[in-house]
Amino acid sequence: MTREGDLVGISIEDCEGMLREMVAAGGMAFAFEGKDAVCELLPREAAGLEVAEGWAMMKGPGGRFRLDMKAVEKVELAEEEGVGAPVSYSARFFDASGRCLLRASFPNPYLDDDGRPTGFVARRLALFEDFCRRYSGADGVEVRRLHRAHLGPERP
């Protein structure tokens, strides 16, 4: 589907597929972003994903959180300077106006399962790298990486 300008947005099928994989993989945090508020599901809280009529619904201890996948224009797989760790890894789901609707944080190779700093653990980066490899070049998906000089000696 062509939207604003010549950009081709992400398909609902790809959006749903990414979300299903993220929830099934476990270990990810999800932040549903509103205009003036954010609701977060921590890695151990995301209890499943249901999809109906273009809507994705995640269940957590505080209720259900919905995303209108028809509104998602672009997904950005981003490697960026982190808070509490040298680098963070996420998938951000944007609408056509550039507003972030959902941010999904991948397991961080610089943090342990409890979010404490640790040495670089390559296996914790595997899911992000797999997503980048498989979705790079897909309509509506952009991969954004830091310059390698910022990552230090432990990062390939």
Domain coordinates of the chain in residue numbers?
Answer: 12-145
pTM of the shown model = 0.84
Q: What span, in angstroms and rounded, lies between the C-alpha atoms of 66 and 113?
A: 26
Look over the chain and give the mean of its residue pLDDT values, rounded to a whole number.
84
Residues 6+ apart with CB under 8 A from 29: 40, 41, 42, 43, 104, 105
Pairing mode, if any, of strands 63-68 and 55-60? antiparallel
**Would you call 76 exposed, middle or buried from its count of C-beta atoms within 10 A (0-12, 13-18, 19+)?**
middle
Q: Of 105, 90, 94, 93, which is closest to residue 30 (Cα–Cα)?
A: 105
Q: Is the pLDDT of residue 122 over 80?
A: yes
Architecture of the structural domain at 12-145:
3-Layer(aba) Sandwich (3.40)
Banded model confidence at residue 114, pLDDT cuts 50, 70, 90: confident
pLDDT of residue 42: 78
Q: How far is CA 65 from the centre of its chain?
A: 15
For 87, residues 6+ apart whose C-beta sits below 8 A from its C-beta are 79, 80, 81, 108, 109, 110, 146, 150, 151, 155
Task: Report which residue type is found at 139.
Answer: D
